[in-house]
Structure 1
Amino acid sequence: MKKEQLQKIFIMLVVLVSLLQLIYNESIIKLGEYKMLVRNIEYFVIAVVAVVSVLYARLDNKKTAGNLIKLYLLLIVLFILFKIRGII
């Protein structure tokens, strides 16, 4: 893939994550039982954003992509720890 295509995909995904967060947090629509489904979709889109950002970084510099992967793994571990502790 070219960098321009990855940039467009990245921007679309970030806008989608922002909309999902707005829907989930501000309760624009009454979600009821679908609230956790929206949250899980949001987590999935965030994971896709991470993959696209690693691909984009890999096109530019492989060392940067490796550092980005390490950073994402650290964030995943912290998220799991915070989720277990009930902070999130």
Structure 2
Amino acid sequence: MTTTLIEKEEIEQYKFVPAEVDRTKEFASKLSDALRLGNEFKSKTAMTFMTEDGPKRVETTVWSLTEKYIVLKASVLIPMRSLIDISY
């Protein structure tokens, strides 16, 4: 399956679905690091997540984390259960 790179402004156009494997706990430390990179160094994180239209990838700054969501600029939310991969 091909992953499509999208802009963060396009995220809300897609409907999230859970990834095949819920890796929320596995990604916890990477998400904490991504949050620090975004807040302290304005560094971007690449995240791949699952949507009804297949996997999408975005490169953006993580602004905040909740128990179930990654919060991006303009209060854009990505459900953690939809995450496939994180890199920075």
TM over 0.5: no
Higher percent of residues as helix: 1
Higher relative contact order (CA 8 A, sep 6+): 2
Q: What's the TM-score once normalised by structure 1's chain length?
A: 0.29
Q: What's the TM-score once normalised by structure 2's chain length?
A: 0.29
Question: Looking at CA atoms only, which structure, 1 or 2, has the larger radius of gyration?
Answer: 1
